[in-house]
């Protein structure tokens, strides 16, 4: 069992999150690849990607890195970036405590700190490239892989983002979720 010391909401700057990475080993298969997120360098250095940082116990670092290296094997590589912790607002304080999140005031890393992320570069074989929302949705709606349905991955990510930072709007993520839900509804109405 991995010992997590804390998890903390915050963001990185100068990146955008996009569903431009094919998944042939987790949320799809080679004959029907799913789509998963990657982070891309943005033209705007102030763009932000929100998420959760985890502090892992020193004795667990090697096993966690090995697990992540295996999971992110489809064209991803590790990169160090600056993470900006965010104090939970009154609006999301209840969600934060329910999720076991802490505020930056509750731990030693009040200022931005370095962490490791995984990014899929545009020259990797699984990079699908910029596709419109409807095209990406058409790949996600029917893709399944060893880790489950691609729709589940999208819906859980969207839900998590609304829970941890309700005031932050990720246009690409939420537009894609809406497009896939429309396809899902159409599919269910045909059944």
- Catalogue the active-site residues: 72
The vertex-170 CA angle with 161 and 156, nearest 5°, equals 35
Nearest to residue 55, comparing CAs of 86, 101, 94? 101
Q: What is the 3-state secondary structure (H, E, C) of the chain?
A: CCCEEEEEEEEEECEEEEEEEEECCCCCECCECEEEEEEEECCCCCCEEEEEEEEECHHHHHHHHHHHHHHCCCCEEEEEEEEEECCCCCCCHHHHHHHCCECHHHCCCCCCEEEEEEEECCCCCCECCCCCHHHHHHHHCCCEECCEEHHHHHHHHHHHHHHHCCCCCCHHHHHHHHHHHHHHHHHHHHC
């Amino acid at each position: 069992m991995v010992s997590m010391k804390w998890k903390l909401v915050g963001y990185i700057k100068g990146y955008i999150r996009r569903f431009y990475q094919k998944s042939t080993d987790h949320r799809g298969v080679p004959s029907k690849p799913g789509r998963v997120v990657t982070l891309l360098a943005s033209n705007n250095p102030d763009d932000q990607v929100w998420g959760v940082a985890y502090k892992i116990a020193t004795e667990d670092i090697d096993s966690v890195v090995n697990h992540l290296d295996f999971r992110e094997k489809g064209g991803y590589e590790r990169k160090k970036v600056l993470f900006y912790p965010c104090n939970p607002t009154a609006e999301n304080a209840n969600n934060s405590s329910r999720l076991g999140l802490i505020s930056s005031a509750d731990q030693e890393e009040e200022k931005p700190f370095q962490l490791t992320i995984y990014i899929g570069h545009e020259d990797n074989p699984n990079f699908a490239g910029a596709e419109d929302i409807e095209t990406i949705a058409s790949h996600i709606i029917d893709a399944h892989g060893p880790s489950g349905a691609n729709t589940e991955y999208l819906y859980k990510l969207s839900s998590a983002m609304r829970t941890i930072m309700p005031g932050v709007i990720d246009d690409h993520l939420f537009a894609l979720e809406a497009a896939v839900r429309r396809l899902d509804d159409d599919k269910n109405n045909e059944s």
